[in-house]
Every structure is written in structure tokens, then in C-alpha cells.
Amino acid sequence: MKKLSGIEEIAAGLLLAAVTLLIVIQLVLASAAPRHASPLTPVVMGLFFWATMLGVPAATRRGAHLSVSLLGRLLPPRGQRVLGTLVMLATVVFFAVLAVVGARLCRDQAHWGNRFMGTALPDWAVAASIPLAAVLSALRAVEVWWKARRGAPQDGEG
């Protein structure tokens, strides 16, 4: 899973770098050649959406999402383990549903042939980030739960 983490982080970093570069180019073009600046907007938005969605599994891996940590601290160790398992199961179910709905959305968008914000890019190419991020996030939730059960340090810890 460590290789997958590296790929996720590199992909998200490259996408954010591309978005940043395109925004700078867009700002320069807005002054120098305004009519050439606006076609970059949908590309920037599509790449930003992908970068954001790839950030979800990374946040899940780091535990940087909504949680019930206050309740967990009030429970004895056995209750904490049970709660951790319930939270992991709920998280996996949520991401599984999101993956299915996202895959259906992609299928429908491919069928309809819509284009992303009027560009040549198909809608499904941007929306494909949803089921991908959902599957990766479900895997990350299980990974975090498994490490916690084994007492292994989480990402960012020792």
C-alpha cells in the first residue's frame, strides 16, 4: 500500500502543480491576450477536481476527516476497538455507495456524450475521479483500521 500512497501523492502533487501553472498562464494571458485566457478555465477546473478527489484517500489515510474521537476517548479500550471497527465499516459502506453512484454517473455521461464545460473533454473523464477516489478511500479506511488493530504507527506518527 506504500507504493500506492506514493502514486496518489505524486499524482495529486503533479495535478496541483499543473493547476497552479495554468492559473499563472491564465492570469498573464488575461492581460496580454484576454480571448486566449478563458479557454483554460475548464481545464483548470477539471484538473483541480481530480486533484481534490485524489486528496480524499490521502486525508482518509491520515485520519484527517470527520471522526468520533471524543466518544472514543470516553470508552474503555475494548469499546474503542469496537467503535473503530464500526467507524471503518460505516466509512467503507459510504465509499462503496459513492463508488457505485460515481461509476453509474460516468456510465451515463459516456452514454449521453456530454462535454465538460463545452470543451472537447468528455464529462465522464472528470467524473471518473469520483469512483476512483471512493475505492482508494475505502482501501485507506481499512488500512488505517488494520494498523490501529495491530498497534502499528499511523502515517505521520513515529
First to last CA, the chain: 18
3-class SS of residue 139: helix
pLDDT per position as a tens digit, 113-157:
887 776 777 889 889 999 999 999 999 999 989 988 887 666 554
Give pLDDT tens digits for 10-47: 888 888 899 899 899 988 988 888 877 777 788 888 88
Per-residue pLDDT, 96: 97
The whole-angstrom separation of Cα 58 and Cα 133 is 10
Question: Is the per-residue pLDDT at 158 higher than 50?
Answer: no
- Any idea where the domains of the chain sit in the sequence? 2-150
Give the mean pLDDT of 82-96: 91
Cα 150 to Cα 81, 92, 145, 146, 153: the distances in Å are 11, 19, 9, 6, 9
Q: What residue has cell string 468528455?
A: 122
